[in-house]
Structure 1
Amino acid sequence: MSVDQLSLRSDESVLSVGCGPGFETTALAQQITEEGHITGIDLNEEVLTTARDRCSDFPQVSFKQGDITDLPVADESYDLAIAKQVFSQITDVESALDELHRVLKRNGRVAVTAGDKRAHIKHTPTDQMKRADEVFRSKMAGRQLGTRLVGLLPEAGFRIEDIIPRAKIQTEINDQVERITVQRRFLEESDTFDDAEIDGWEQEMRGLDETNQFLSCGTAFLYIARKTE
């Protein structure tokens, strides 16, 4: 998500949920002056310490520890709430959307980013790789939030104003989210690969990486929606 896509006003109040170590919060602080305010929320107190240090020169920025399904802020407090890749880490999506709706002012906006694992593709030139990729897809089949939000947001009281797709291409194994160790576990749990086949698959994958043929591409969707109720 780019800050430029949010059409910010300098005096807005912004809630950044899942702010992490403060990179996004810093980018927001370049656009929001002291006439506005930015609150960063994260579960991890350690990363919040880093975020506070990173944003120490911005008096309009503050941080709180909290969960998206139980936000530690008052009703109707913000003009904009941002949740970037937070929903992939939770199970109670409806409660999270209800919380974002609660904390927004009348006519406030939400910016939510989520992926759909069905849109995650990899270069798989061998039959063994294709079989392993089918196992991966079956394990990730439930992670379709990127497309489900087109229905969930209106149900939660939002009017969708824009949906912006973003494809992320990775050309090194160690750059991708689903690393070799995760994929190996999926194969071990599937009972369709024996140990020798799993080792062979990993060697093939690393061979692609060594010869600069590794390619993985995932798609995420940025939803920008407005509170209507």
Structure 2
Amino acid sequence: MSERPPSDDDERDRWERVLSTRTEETFRDFVFEQVRPRKDESVLSVGCGPGFETAALARYVGEGGTITGIDVNEEVLAAARDRCGDLPQASFEQGDIVDLPVADESYDLAIAKQVLYAVSDIEAALNELFRVIAPGGRVAVTAGDRRTHVKHTPTDRMQRADNVYRAEINHSQLGTRLIGRLPEAGFTVEEVTPCAKIQTEIDDQIEQGIGVQRGLLEASDAFDSEAIDAWEQDIRELNETGQFLSCSTSFLYVARKPE
């Protein structure tokens, strides 16, 4: 019997679990502490998910500011609307970062956290961010460089699996390449700040990563199904014995659109 494909409800529940992990809460706090959205600013939250980011932004902009959350998944947006139902400054639209459903030069700040990995056309996405930001406004974009992702991999099988992952993952060096891509889109980069995400146990975010890596291994010629199962068992045994360790570095870029 074939496995049931994931539904929109599954997708919403998955993002609820991932974005409520301690790792993601800490990362949101890091971004906001660096960016410091100001009172009364208009903010665009791209890839807002189920509204955790939108609700947190509301504390910064106050009732005089506005926040527009954008996401491609309508079920996820429904969760965001429920979560932010008592925040009059928050609104939501379904849309994609390469074709944002908002007017030109209408926001003081746009935040796009870990969104660009899912985009095939990085140039189009950055051009859209430039279009919707008012002159003098800012963007805050985060991405990682897979070369900075290190794990405790005591077996040769785990090391080979990670090599496949690094070779196949989309935009694997985006976190460092944005230093050139943002100016190409017209922005002036003002700050680049690294943030190390250290995880010592398998949480919902790591579970998602295991699923992604399994898919890449299944699509490669380097591992058969038995070897993939053994690789996953290696990871889970490390977790069970308190030896799991994963550390990745994300880079936060704060850039400004010239006046």
TM-score when normalising by structure 2: 0.82
Residue 58 in 1 paired to residue 83 in 2?
Answer: no
- The equivalent residue for 1:134 is 163
- The equivalent residue for 2:115 is 86
Find the aligned partners of 1:222 and 1:35 in 2 and give their Cα distance: 26
Residue 119 in 1 paired to residue 121 in 2?
Answer: no
- The equivalent residue for 2:241 is 211
AA matched with 2:194: P
| 8 A contact 2:45–2:67 mirrored in 1 | yes
Residue 221 in 1 paired to residue 251 in 2?
Answer: yes
- The equivalent residue for 2:16 is none
Find the aligned partners of 2:161 and 2:235 in 1 and give their Cα distance: 11
AA matched with 2:206: Q
Residues 210, 177 of structure 1: CA spacing in aligned structure 2 closer, same or farther, 3 A cutoff? closer
Find the aligned partners of 2:63 and 2:213 in 1 and give their Cα distance: 46
- The equivalent residue for 2:12 is none
Q: In terms of mean alpha carbon deviation, does 126-135 or 79-88 score higher?
A: 126-135
Residues 142, 95 of structure 1: CA spacing in aligned structure 2 closer, same or farther, 3 A cutoff? closer
Name the % identity: 65
* Offset, 1:195: 4.4
* Offset, 1:141: 7.0
Alignment of 1:70-219 (within 5 A): 70-140=99-169, 142-174=171-203, 175-176=205-206, 179-219=209-249
Residues 185, 29 of structure 1: CA spacing in aligned structure 2 closer, same or farther, 3 A cutoff? closer
Look up the SS of the partner of 2:85 in the other structure: coil
Find the aligned partners of 1:224 and 1:99 in 2 and give their Cα distance: 16
AA matched with 2:34: Q
Structure with greater proportional helix content: 2
| 8 A contact 2:36–2:60 mirrored in 1 | no
* Offset, 1:194: 4.2
Which ranges of structure 2 fall in alignment gaps of 5 or more residues?
1-27
Specify the structure having the higher radius of gyration (Cα).
1
* Offset, 1:215: 1.0
Which ranges of structure 1 fall in alignment gaps of 5 or more residues?
none
Residue 8 in 1 paired to residue 22 in 2?
Answer: no
TM-score when normalising by structure 1: 0.91
Find the aligned partners of 2:226 and 2:80 in 1 and give their Cα distance: 45
Look up the SS of the partner of 1:128 in the other structure: helix
* Offset, 1:49: 1.4
Task: Name segments (4+ residues, structure 1) moved above 6 Å.
Answer: none
Look up the SS of the partner of 2:236 in the other structure: helix
Query: Per-residue CA shift, 1:65-108, capped at 9, x if unaligned?
Result: 11111111111111101111111111111111111111111111
| 8 A contact 2:77–2:94 mirrored in 1 | yes
Look up the SS of the partner of 2:104 in the other structure: coil
Q: In terms of mean alpha carbon deviation, does 17-26 or 167-176 score higher?
A: 167-176
* Offset, 1:16: 0.7
Q: In terms of mean alpha carbon deviation, does 14-23 or 177-186 score higher?
A: 177-186
Residues 26, 155 of structure 1: CA spacing in aligned structure 2 closer, same or farther, 3 A cutoff? same
Query: Per-residue CA shift, 1:108-138, capped at 9, x if unaligned?
Result: 1000111112211111112222222222222
| 8 A contact 1:173–1:180 mirrored in 2 | no
How many matched pairs? 229
